[in-house]
Amino acid sequence: MPWKTLLSMVGTTLVLTSPLGAEPQRSGSAPAAASSISASAIAPTRIYTEPAVYFLLKLPGDTVTVRYSPGSLDRSANLQTRLELASRAFKRWVDFKLQVTLYVLTREEWRQAGYDVPYGVPVRVGRRGLAAPAEGDAGTVALWAEMLKGVLPAVAGAPIRGTPQQAATMILADLMTQLLMCEILVDEVGIAGGRPWVRGLMTHLASVDLVRRYEEARLGDLDTMYQLLAQVHSPRAFSSRDYNPDLRLRDWMWFQAQFHTGAQAILAKTGKGALKKMKKLRKKTGGVLNDDLLLRRYDTLNAWFHDSFTSVSLRK
């Protein structure tokens, strides 16, 4: 499936373009740098410490404050706009003003912070913080090309910094940053509980619902990315009980692809206001979103669950 809607950065504005006949861009012979998803690559499921901010500039915002590496203002402003949109979308479900800090870091700053997640994939820091890459490079191209089987989204026009391929990896990193922002929101609202896979599913429900409401044209991009990530393993490669904080990056990405499909199965049944309905359903089950009730309530979700996961767990 082609990348239908392409994202490029112009100044501090996100521009959605659909060039006629644009084809997916391939990574060619990008060097396999330190960001390879080898067996040792860690998934961004842990909560990391905030990086040092001595040399980081500050971009205040309404709900998202950005600390960024010098030279990354345009990218930081774009990310701030996207994350604040997510925060406003869930404002009515939070009893307080949710403040999030985003750190936009160079590869060297990422290394100094001690993050063992490959550069090019965002991580959560502290209770309400995120760290994201400041720019694409040969390593981020190698990383995402490996995860997406050589296919990167085409970028319309000349990117502000780096090559079109490097800019494409920042588009993908931004999609993941927005996903982790939704995870923070799901945690703060308290909409999920119980089994970890339910929290993952609710995070994607928030993400897809957000895109459908505010950037529906990007839904094709999201679908394509997760279709490619799902190919890392065959269907039913894991049990839902295998979803845990110690997953490797390759496996974590496979789970995200499954949750994306599951979120759409819920939305096909609920339509708008899906998260509000999940919150009401949680109240009926004593404050914890019961997975058995969830699967019984939505036939499409039950079919997705059995098509996606095996009943045999790999965990001892």
Per-residue pLDDT reduced to its tens digit, 5-18? 333 332 323 333 33
Among 189, 208, 241, the domain-final residue is 189
Among 137, 156, 189, the domain-final residue is 189
pLDDT at 29: 37
259 Cα distance to chain centroid: 11
With respect to residue 214, please indicate whether it lies within any of the assigned structural domains: yes
| Full residue range of the structural domain in which residue 310 is found | 192-316
pLDDT at 272: 74
Do 125 and 238 reside in the same domain of the chain? no
Per-residue pLDDT reduced to its tens digit, 216-229? 877 888 899 999 99
Per-residue pLDDT reduced to its tens digit, 92-107? 666 667 889 999 999 9
With respect to residue 83, please indicate whether it lies within any of the assigned structural domains: yes
Among 189, 204, 222, the domain-final residue is 189
Model confidence at 276, pLDDT cuts 50, 70, 90, reads confident
Report the candidate in 191, 211, 295 with the shortest Cα–Cα distance to residue 260. 211
DSSP annotation string for 221-256: HHHHHHHHHGGGS-TT-S-GGG--TT-BHHHHHHHH
Tell me how many domains the chain contains: 2
Do 61 and 163 reside in the same domain of the chain? yes
With respect to residue 162, please indicate whether it lies within any of the assigned structural domains: yes
Is 15 strand, coil or helix? strand
pLDDT at 3: 53
CB atoms within 10 A of CB 135: 24
Per-residue pLDDT reduced to its tens digit, 149-170? 888 887 776 566 778 899 999 9
Do 64 and 111 reside in the same domain of the chain? yes
With respect to residue 244, please indicate whether it lies within any of the assigned structural domains: yes
Do 176 and 213 reside in the same domain of the chain? no
The answer to whether 101 touches 129, Cβ cutoff 8 Å, is yes
The whole-model pTM stands at 0.85
Residues 86-92 have a mean pLDDT of 78
- Helix, strand, coil percent content, the chain, rounded in steps of 5: 50, 15, 40
Do 162 and 222 reside in the same domain of the chain? no
pLDDT at 44: 83
244 Cα distance to chain centroid: 17
Kindly tell me if the per-residue pLDDT of 90 is higher than 50.
Answer: yes
Do 166 and 243 reside in the same domain of the chain? no
